[in-house]
C-alpha cells in the first residue's frame, strides 16, 4: 500500500511537475530574517508591496492558512535551446529565458489546481489548501530549500543539482499531515561568479540582492525612468536578465527541458526597431499570455531605447528620431533622447537640437539637454 507521501510525489509527476518536495509548515526564520535585512537596507525600495508585514507573512504558513500542516513545493524545468541566430550586430534585444514561455503563473496555477483536485480524490479526503506561484505572499524559494528541492544560491535563486536554477516554482500549503523531506546538504561553496559577473553589482553580497539595481527589476517592475548611471550597464537586455544564471557552473551541465506543458511564446530576442513602431493593439496581441505583458508597451519601448543606446545601432537612428518626435509617452521619448546621445552622430545631435523647439515635457527636455554635448 502506498504512503501518502508516495501518492503526493507520484501525482505531481503525473501532472507534469519535474520536482516535488514536502516541507513542514513551521516558520522560515532564516529566510524571514534575510528578507527583513534586505528591506531595512532599502534593497526592496522599488517594490512597495514587499513590506515588513508581507515578508513576515511569506515565511509564516499559519498566517496564510488555518492550521497548516505541510507545504508541498513543486518545480518545472524551463531550460530551452539557446538561439544560435542571435547576433549583437543586429538591432536585437535579449529576453530572459523564463519569459520566452507562456506566463508560468497561469500554467503552474492551473497545474496546481488540477493537482489539488486529484490529490483529494486519490486520498479520499477534503483538503484545505492555498496555492502560490510567485505572486502571493509565500516565500516559495525558502520552502523549496526546506523541502529538499535544492539550495539557496548566492544569486538568491534556488539551485537544483539536476535542473540547476532553470526552475519554475509553485507551492500548496495544506492541512494534510505529511512526513517532510530533508534539505539537501549542498551549497555554492567558494564560488562567487554570479556576484563578480553581475554588471550592475546588484548581488551586493552572498544571498543578498539589491533589487533596485537588478536588470530584471529595471526592465520589468520599474515603471519609471531607468537610473541614468545604470543604463550603460544593462547591455541589450530588454526583459529580464540571465547573466547570473548563465555564469553559474551548475547550469553548464543542465539538460534541455522535456516538459511539454509550456508553450513557447517568443524567441530569445526581439527586434528593437519593431518594438519602437509597435502599436498597443499589436503589443497586446503578440504578448497575450506572455510574461512580457507585465512591462507594458511603454516599458518595453523604454527598454528598447536603452538597448539601442548601448549597442549604438546606427541603422536605428531614424526610428529613434521618430520615437523622440511622435511617441505619446514622455518616458519613451526621454529614453530615446538618451539613446540618440549615446549613438552621437551629427544626425542624432541635429535631431536632439530640433526637438528642443517642440518638446515641452520637463523630463524629456532634461534628457535632451543631457544628451547634447556640453558647450
Closest CA to 302 of 281, 333, 278, 277: 333
CA distance 294 to 291: 6
Looking up cell 553589482 gives: 201
What is the DSSP-derived secondary structure letter of residue 285?
H
Question: pLDDT tens, 339-370?
Answer: 999 999 999 999 999 999 999 999 999 999 99
Q: What is the pLDDT of residue 90?
A: 72
Rounded Cα distance, 48 and 147, in Å: 29
| pTM score | 0.94
- Residue whose C-alpha is closest to residue 176's, from 246, 254, 122, 212: 122
- Each residue's pLDDT tens digit, 27-44: 999 999 999 999 999 999
- Nearest-angstrom CA–CA distance, 117 and 201: 44
315-352 CB burial, b ≥16 within 10 A, e <16: ebbebbbebbeebebbbbbbbbbbbbbbbeeeebbebb
**pLDDT for the residue numbered 50:** 85
State the catalytic residue, choosing from 30, 83, 90, 134.
Answer: 134
The pLDDT confidence band at residue 246, using thresholds 50, 70 and 90, is very high
pLDDT of residue 1: 82
Flag the least confident range among 58-67, 255-264, 282-291, 296-305. Answer: 255-264
Model pLDDT, residue 253: 82
The pLDDT value given to residue 84: 56
Known catalytic residue at 134: yes
Amino acid at each position: 500500500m502506498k504512503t501518502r507521501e508516495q501518492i503526493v510525489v507520484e501525482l505531481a509527476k503525473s501532472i507534469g511537475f519535474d520536482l516535488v518536495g514536502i516541507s513542514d509548515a513551521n516558520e522560515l526564520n532564516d529566510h524571514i530574517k534575510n528578507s527583513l535585512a534586505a528591506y531595512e537596507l532599502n534593497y526592496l525600495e522599488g517594490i512597495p508591496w514587499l513590506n515588513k508585514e508581507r515578508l513576515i507573512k511569506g515565511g509564516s504558513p499559519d498566517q496564510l492558512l488555518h492550521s497548516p500542516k505541510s507545504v508541498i513545493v513543486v518545480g518545472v524545468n524551463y531550460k530551452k535551446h539557446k538561439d544560435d541566430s542571435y547576433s549583437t550586430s543586429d538591432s536585437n534585444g535579449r529576453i530572459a529565458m523564463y519569459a520566452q514561455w507562456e506566463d508560468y503563473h497561469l500554467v503552474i496555477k492551473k497545474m496546481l489546481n488540477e493537482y489539488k483536485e486529484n490529490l483529494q480524490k486519490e486520498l479520499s479526503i477534503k483538503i484545505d489548501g492555498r496555492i502560490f506561484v510567485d505572486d502571493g505572499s509565500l516565500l516559495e524559494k525558502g520552502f523549496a530549500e526546506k523541502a529538499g528541492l535544492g539550495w539557496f544560491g548566492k544569486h538568491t535563486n534556488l539551485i537544483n543539482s539536476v535542473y540547476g536554477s532553470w526552475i519554475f516554482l509553485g507551492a500548496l500549503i495544506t492541512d494534510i499531515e505529511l512526513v517532510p523531506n530533508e534539505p539537501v546538504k549542498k551549497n555554492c561553496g567558494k564560488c562567487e561568479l554570479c556576484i563578480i559577473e553581475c554588471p550592475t553589482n546588484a548581488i551586493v553580497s552572498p544571498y543578498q540582492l539589491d533589487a533596485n539595481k537588478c536588470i530584471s527589476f529595471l526592465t520589468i517592475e520599474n515603471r519609471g525612468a531607468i537610473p541614468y548611471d545604470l543604463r550603460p550597464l544593462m547591455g541589450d537586455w530588454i526583459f529580464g536578465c540571465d547573466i547570473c544564471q548563465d555564469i553559474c557552473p551548475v547550469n553548464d551541465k543542465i539538460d534541455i527541458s522535456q516538459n511539454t506543458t509550456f508553450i513557447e511564446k517568443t524567441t530569445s530576442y526581439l527586434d528593437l526597431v519593431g518594438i519602437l513602431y509597435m502599436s498597443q493593439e499589436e503589443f497586446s496581441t503578440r504578448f497575450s499570455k506572455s510574461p512580457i505583458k507585465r512591462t507594458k508597451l511603454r516599458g518595453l519601448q523604454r527598454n528598447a531605447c536603452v538597448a539601442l543606446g548601448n549597442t549604438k545601432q546606427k541603422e536605428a537612428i531614424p526610428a529613434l528620431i521618430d520615437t523622440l518626435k511622435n511617441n505619446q509617452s514622455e518616458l519613451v521619448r526621454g529614453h530615446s533622447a538618451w539613446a540618440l546621445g549615446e549613438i552621437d552622430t551629427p544626425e542624432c545631435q541635429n535631431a536632439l537640437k530640433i526637438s528642443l523647439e517642440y518638446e515641452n515635457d520637463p523630463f524629456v527636455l532634461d534628457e535632451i539637454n543631457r544628451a547634447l554635448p556640453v558647450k
